[in-house]
Structure 1
């Protein structure tokens, strides 16, 4: 009888740590990965920008190379009446400035969404926590056309301008090709940095040739530096 009771006691002692471990796991906070969209005041990112406009009808092909600096400012009311952060944008001809103030957007994390009000258009940049099952309309809160987004390369490394970021997510916005269209749009976000790469191509092409552009717009925006000021 004693041997039987001893065996039961040993079995209970072996199971008890499992119960403790499971209980601890339940109490651990779930990481929503909000740090893909950092909003600490003074946080800045500098980007190199390559922009192209094409319109064969008026024989136009304009190419621009410049720099953009984004800076998180103090709190402000956004266009939906919420307390958000100022998202200041500056333009410059070099990566070190001098910088000329260009415009003021606002940024907020609300309801599991990272939102940026760009030129009065409220857009959903990210949803949390990032998952392969996520799909959302970036333009759900504005009058622009529907833009269904989803994640790829979740928590993967990504290299831009020679700098490798160990933990990033890619927001896929559009990838479409046809005999007359060539559209590719995505944004990459790194932890504790924010957006590190934006690629936007919207071309009308001729005879299915992506190099023969009838009309369109291209933006390639890549991180150069970042930090706290």
Structure 2
């Protein structure tokens, strides 16, 4: 059986799959997913605090802010007594929609994520075409190893 950390690329070579790293200190928590660094959290946590999620990469700016600090949140299976919501601050326009929400639970970490990036354009027949993607996740269990 092949090692699940590696996949065959187009040149029939084994390459590393899904590399994630994280680091944090008293001021921030950053995650690198597939070599794209994102500033996930900015400390101290307080309602309305804003930052650019993409400050460390070449993707378009995505300003996010804390909302619902310390609020309970009920997922599909589990309820978490103290959470914080991180949400983008710029709403969609008629063409581009960028919705980003992540919820973190105290002493647990990420418990939900909703991320949608779409672009809407009418085609030559006047039919609206929407192109993009949507990701929706929620924790159904957690523990320690």
Which aligned runs of 4 or more in structure 1 are off by greater than 4 angstroms? none
Q: What's the secondary structure of 1:227's corresponding residue?
A: coil
Paired with 2:32 and 2:97, the residues of 1 have a C-alpha distance of 27
Which residue is equivalent to 1:198? Answer: 113
Instruction: Tell whether 2:55 aligns with 1:130.
Output: no
Which residue is equivalent to 1:216? Answer: 132
Give the alignment of 1:13-24 within 5 angstroms: none
Which residue is equivalent to 1:148? Answer: 63
Which residue is equivalent to 1:158? Answer: 73
Per residue, is there more helix in 1 or in 2? 1
Distance 1:108 1:135, change over 3 A: same
Q: What's the secondary structure of 2:143's corresponding residue?
A: strand
For residue 102 of structure 1, report the CA deviation from its aligned partner: 4.8
Name which structure has the greater RCO, CA cutoff 8 Å, separation 6+: 1
Distance 1:191 1:178, change over 3 A: same
For residue 161 of structure 1, report the CA deviation from its aligned partner: 1.2
Contact kept, 8 Å, 1:173 with 1:185, in 2: the verdict is yes
Q: What 5-or-longer segments of structure 1 have no aligned partner?
A: 1-89, 91-100
Paired with 1:213 and 1:219, the residues of 2 have a C-alpha distance of 19
Q: 213-222 vs 150-159, which deviates more?
A: 213-222
Which residue, 23, 28, 33 being the options, matches 1:108? 23
Which residue is equivalent to 1:226? Answer: 142
What's the CA shift string for 1:71-92, capped at 9, x where partnerless? xxxxxxxxxxxxxxxxxxx8xx
For residue 128 of structure 1, report the CA deviation from its aligned partner: 1.3
Q: What 5-or-longer segments of structure 2 have no aligned partner?
A: 6-15, 123-127
Paired with 1:180 and 1:139, the residues of 2 have a C-alpha distance of 21
TM-score normalised by structure 1 residue count: 0.50
Paired with 2:133 and 2:140, the residues of 1 have a C-alpha distance of 22
Which residue is equivalent to 2:91? Answer: 176
Distance 1:134 1:213, change over 3 A: same
Higher-Rg structure is 1
